[in-house]
Amino acid sequence: MAEVVKMPKMSDTMTEGVIAKWHKKVGDKVNSGDLIAEVETDKATMDFESYQEGTLLYIGPKEGEAIAVDAVIAVLGEEGEDYKALLEGGDAPKQEAKEDKAEPAKEESTEEDSTSSVSAEDLDCTVITMPLLSDTMTEGVIAQWNFKVGDTIKSDDAIADVETDKATMEVTAYAEGTLLYVGVEAGQAAKVNDIIAIVGPAGTDVTPLLNQKPKSSTKADKAEAPKAEAKAESAAPAASSSSNDDSRVKASPLARKIAKEKGINLNDVKGSAEGGRVVKKDVESFVPSAAPKAAEATSAPATETKTISLPQYVGEEKYTEQNVSQMRKTIARRLGESLFTAPHFYLTVSIDMDNAIAARAQINTVAPVKVSFNDIVIKAVAVALKQHPAVNSSWQGDKIRFNEHTNIGVAMAVEDGLLVPVVRFADGKSLSHISAEVKDFAGKAKTKKLTPADWEGSTFTVSNLGMFGIDEFTSIINSPDGAILSVGAIQQVPVVKDGAVVPGNIMKLTLGCDHRVVDGATGAAFLQTLKGLLEAPIRLLA
């Protein structure tokens, strides 16, 4: 009896999957445990093994297509068995229905329909799309191609390096044949699931596969063209109707400034640059007509009365621009979402670090790796969170998640922006263990070798700018965490101890809280516990 195969839920956050590659085709015999497809989830590309046996009667989504979790992607059964009744429930994609209705409604659309009916399988080709390489990735930049059109590709070859919002990763072909098409040049970006390459038999014409996509966009472009022309035509009379207003004249900022100082209307100046743009030399060489004689007459007496003559200083306004990296795009999007979604409030406390300084010096005489003050803060935060689970929480919309484990995200500055690798179960690790792990993360972050497993799953974040001499600051919460700790520098200041003013070492901590899950008193109680641990660090070793 025929059985449907559904898209499995391969991670806790997965809502849909993309068929990266089919390893079986319709008519193949499938045994339990056989690899039938590779599925791109929101976390990684995973192998999908069959738990059923039979002949593959039907394949729903094509390679590169996304389909929701629990939707039908294939049907297994006896060879020649009628399976269409299983698809009538509506779970499977309606591709066969579309094929049944393939009759052209108009003579003009016949060629288009025949082109769109050609699939990669028909040409024995494999379409390689931009994979989803991290949970926050929406597009990737091709850092470099490792092969060129015409090269022979093996299934395990890394055909390209892709720069994501987190790191630079390799894209594996998962196909054998000749590289027939490259859709994105090195340095250019492509959206997730966009076609970036096609692999197949040498000499195959892949034009039918490429022509399926841009048809609708071409029509849209044609529809937009008249609108743009109409706008241009309507703008022309408006500009010509006001000869005194030169704000619409194409001119460089320097030329506009000089013209303003000399009282020259740019409408009267003929531009020599590309497109008639007015530049500095055009304004300086401009000779006014006889019309402004009256203006000259009125200005002459004023010139005679001047007693101080200041030389004219002309500066040049200039700047440089660079494309926004994938990492910076994601930082802007995620922090914007956090700041404008989560109602932030901040609490600041001063810590006496004298005992911590003495303890660190003693620890580093015996520790296998050098322990930093940041390592001590991470350990103290993890221990304090176990006593205040409300701070170790996150907003889930219709519920609040109280995490019983302590995974501490450590904010690290890199060349392109900011990464937050996670020290997992930090409360149970020694200071030396935490120090070694953080140093390893820092090295990977600088060389862009961090993997998604390194930066996912934080429950609380620590951001330290003390090494830059920053006294105190506030941070934007690293969503979905419910709080973030900002660590300032240790400052030598006068303090009062036992009624006397003595030198002291003070460090300021600022706790940023999501008010949806953490109240003021809750955050304050957490800071009190953290303050006690840092001022008596022997408690961290108990």
DSSP conformational letter for 468: G
Mean pLDDT by 10 residues, the chain (542 residues): 80 76 90 84 73 86 86 87 74 41 43 58 85 77 90 86 79 85 89 89 85 48 42 42 64 76 84 76 76 46 62 84 80 87 95 96 94 97 96 94 96 87 96 96 88 90 95 95 96 91 95 96 97 94 75
> How far from chain centre, in Å, is Cα 261?
46
pLDDT at 289: 65
**What is the spatial distance between Cα 136 and Cα 458, in angstroms, rounded to a whole number?**
15
Q: Is 311 exposed, middle or buried (0-12, 13-18, 19+ CB in 10 A)?
A: exposed
Region 120-203: CATH code: 2.40.50.100
pLDDT at 225: 41
Q: For 21, list phi and psi in degrees, rounded to 5.
A: -160, 140
pLDDT at 119: 78
Peptide bond into 480 cis (omega under 30): yes
- Measured CA to CA in angstroms, residue 290 lies from 243, 294, 295, 452 at distances of 17, 9, 10, 72
Map residue 281 onto helix, strand or coil: helix
> Cβ of 217: how many Cβ atoms within 10 Å?
9
Task: Assess whether the region 120-203 and the region 331-540 belong to the same CATH fold.
Answer: no
**What is the spatial distance between Cα 478 and Cα 459, in angstroms, rounded to a whole number?**
9
pLDDT at 403: 96
Angle at 178 between CA 174 and CA 182, to 5 degrees: 80
pLDDT at 91: 44
pLDDT at 305: 57
Strand partners, 506: 352, 491
Per residue in 519-542, pLDDT tens? Answer: 999 999 999 999 999 999 999 886
- The CATH superfamily holding the domain 331-540 is Chloramphenicol acetyltransferase-like domain (3.30.559.10)
Contacts of 115 (CB under 8 A, 6+ apart): 208, 211, 212
pLDDT at 298: 47
Per residue in 201-233, pLDDT tens? Answer: 988 888 888 877 544 334 434 434 444 444 444
Say whether pTM exceeds 0.75.
Answer: no
pLDDT at 139: 86
Active site members: 515, 519
pLDDT at 243: 57
- The string of DSSP letters for 126-163 reads EEEE----STT-SEEEEEEESS-TT-EE-TT-EEEEEE
**Quick one: fold of 3-88?**
OB fold (Dihydrolipoamide Acetyltransferase, E2P) (2.40.50)
| Parallel/antiparallel/unpaired status of strands 408-410 and 422-423 | antiparallel
Spell out the domain ranges in the chain.
3-88, 120-203, 331-540
Where on the phi/psi map is residue 285: left (φ > 0), alpha (ψ -120 to 50), or beta?
Answer: alpha
pLDDT at 429: 95
Side-chain half-sphere exposure of 497, counting CA atoms within 13 A: 10
pLDDT at 118: 75
pLDDT at 46: 77
Spatial contact of 487 and 450, defined as CB atoms under 8 Å apart: no
pLDDT at 405: 96
- The string of DSSP letters for 445-463 reads HHTT---HHHHS--SEEEE
487, 492, 496, 500 alpha-carbon torsion, rounded to 10°: 160
